[in-house]
Amino acid sequence: MAKIFIPLPALSPVRKPSPSPAAVDALCVLLSTYIDLNVPTPQELLDLLPEDTFTAGTAQPAGKITAPRRLIPACFSPRYSAATPTASMRKLGPVAWHAVAEGLAEIHLPEPVDPIRLRWLHAPEYVDAFMAGKEPLASSQGWSWTPQIRDGVLAINGGQLLGAMLALEHGIAANIAQGFHHARPEAGGGYCTFNGLALVAQEFPDHKVMVLDCDEHGGNGTEEFTHRLPNLFNYSIHGTSFGMRGCKRSIRCTLPPVTGDFAPYRKALRNAFERADRWKPDLLLYQAGADPHIHDPLGTLGMTTEQMIERDRIVFEGCRERKLPVLFVLAGGYQEPIETELLPLHLNTFRAAHAVYMARA
């Protein structure tokens, strides 16, 4: 069986002075439960950390992990971290690790989604081909199919459903993964396999689900699903439309570079929340893409790090003011090395969410 290595970068570049000891300890236990994967033991993980990082606490049982601080419920499984040519799935382990170590998130372990549910959402022949590794559909998302990628995608989509439940329960939650917004009913595309945003709408038919897609690329796949799912609304603010055309419940907002003037982006976010106020969703899915960043190889929006932080803050404050439950996902982001270029951007989204939801009374 192929081994999966969960990357565990040094904590020093992004670590805050006081990480949550119990949360770090709990993540070690969580990772160590995957004995069939090439995951370090808790002691090996502890040895990787600087001595003054924390004092070892009592081990928590695997599964739902609780920590003493107020933390963002975040779905993650070591299976998410499949080896992909792009950073797409390789980045997920480091983000999970640091979000926990920094005392921002607690990990909830999702079950892989049942492929039957995916066959209801997508063309059954596409789902069957992906499950069996049958080409060309199995690699239609843009990577060569592997069993690791298959298992990672199933776990990630399971995380979407658990994350939606957590968001409805707690007001905010994360899935440390992508939303797969380019995945269309008949096939994958743009490194997206099964559309985890549309999946939430399908599985919560009594809830109105709005997607606020702030990735560099338009959510063309999600747009197609709005024609099939009457409880799904897609609002996409992007630099690259990626085939989006816009329709009744899919708004396409294509912007030029915003490096020197962030006002158009602020206005687009304001318009998105005005739409939300009219449509009255029960749940917002926030695609917090890191690929609009000025240094991203696939980016055109030219957003600075500070502008991305402001974007996240506006979104989380908008949801909190309205008491609108929000599930956020990482979405795109392709800078490498991951640890120095990409990880800080995704962690900033966790920091913004934590600041808005957890650090305030």
> Site residues (CB under 5 A) for Zn ion?
215-217, 291, 332
Per DSSP, the residues of 128-167 read: HHHHHT-TTGGGTTSS---HHHHHHHHHHHHHHHHHHHHH
Least distance between Zn ion and beta carbon 179 (Å)? 10
Least distance between Zn ion and beta carbon 175 (Å)? 16
Distance between CA 40 and CA 45 in Å, rounded? 6
Q: Which residue is nearest to Zn ion (CB)?
A: 332
How far CA 1 is from CA of 19, 131, 300, in Å, comes to 35, 17, 40
Residue 296, SS3?
coil
Residue 201 has a CB neighbour count (10 Å cut-off) of: 28
State which residue, 127 or 331, has the beta carbon closest to Zn ion: 331
How far CA 206 is from CA of 200, 231, 232, in Å, comes to 11, 8, 11
State which residue, 80 or 357, has the beta carbon closest to Zn ion: 80
Least distance between Zn ion and beta carbon 191 (Å)? 8
Helix ranges restricted to H, 192-304: 196-203, 220-226, 263-279
Residue 205 has a CB neighbour count (10 Å cut-off) of: 10
The answer to whether residues 99 and 74 touch, using CB atoms and an 8 Å cutoff, is yes
State which residue, 97 or 242, has the beta carbon closest to Zn ion: 242
State which residue, 203 or 216, has the beta carbon closest to Zn ion: 216
State which residue, 217 or 351, has the beta carbon closest to Zn ion: 217
State which residue, 93 or 299, has the beta carbon closest to Zn ion: 299
Residue 136 has a CB neighbour count (10 Å cut-off) of: 9
